[in-house]
Structure 1
């Protein structure tokens, strides 16, 4: 089950009005020999939004306690309509992952962090086969390595020919000055 909270990013004046000029798009012909037609964004103009990705593997060692806590949370939710409550209770009784989804709230993870406001959160729970010795579960693996790219000195993937991810740019590094 995926549980989502969101607030429209269009309410934010900068995101609602301008595209992201930091991304490369279009062909070289459409950009012309001088590169992008938009000016580069300064640090103060870049997006203030940050995506935090967290992946947890949780071992359920007391299914009854987990299910009971989720059923209590559902029963205490005064804003949940009765038909949704019945469906939620049934789902929680059938699957531990559903029970966990009702108990975990990403807002709780960041609510005490100073200087931020949660703009959107989504999370899901699913039962999985877990082998801690499997290479699939190595926590320190760099995403660029997984995709088959090596990260360059600036953190962007570098292809074998030394150019950027799409072979763009006007110099030998494949990056725009």
Structure 2
């Protein structure tokens, strides 16, 4: 079924958009300082959330990146779209840029994954 086969409806259609990014932390102290400043200046955090965020940054500075993710900025100016829900997280990962299995656009990597 294609989008042209769908019946016309007045109700909104929801789309789950999944994005995976891999970022290299090149200066952990700079990231940590910027995240702490971001949390300090976030007018939407209450005191308890602010305290939890600061503690999380102190324990694992790699989690600092999550404080810079803004789904509203990604979709806020797209006509005909209203952001209804967003969740995200950051986590350590093993990454080898030379490993072709990380290249989703590589024909060879997808062939290997398919067992060909």
Range of TM-score over shorter length: 0.7 to 0.9
Offset of residue 136 of structure 1: 2.8
Please report how far the alpha carbon of residue 106 of structure 1 lies from its aligned counterpart in structure 2 after TM superposition. Answer: 1.8
Higher strand proportion (structure 1 or 2): 1
Aligned to 2:6: 42
Aligned mates of 2:73, 2:55 — CA distance in 1? 25
Uncovered stretches (5+) of structure 2, i.e. residues with no partner: none
Deviations 1:115-140 (A, max 9, x none): 21111111110111110122331222
Task: Give the Å deviation of 1:59.
Answer: 0.9
Matched residue count: 108
What are the ranges of 5 or more consecutive residues in structure 1 without an aligned counterpart?
1-21, 23-40, 149-177
**Please, what TM-score do these two structures have when normalized by structure 2?**
0.74
Structure-to-structure mapping, 1:145-156, within 5 angstroms: none
CA RMSD of aligned residues (A): 2.9
Does residue 1:90 correspond to 2:77, yes or no? Answer: no
Corresponding residue for 2:73?
A: 108
Helix, strand or coil: the match of 1:128?
Answer: coil
- 2:98 is matched with which residue: 124, 127, 133? 133
TM-score by length of 1: 0.51
Q: Which is greater in Rg?
A: 1
CA 68–145 in structure 1, closer or farther in 2 if over 3 Å, else same: same
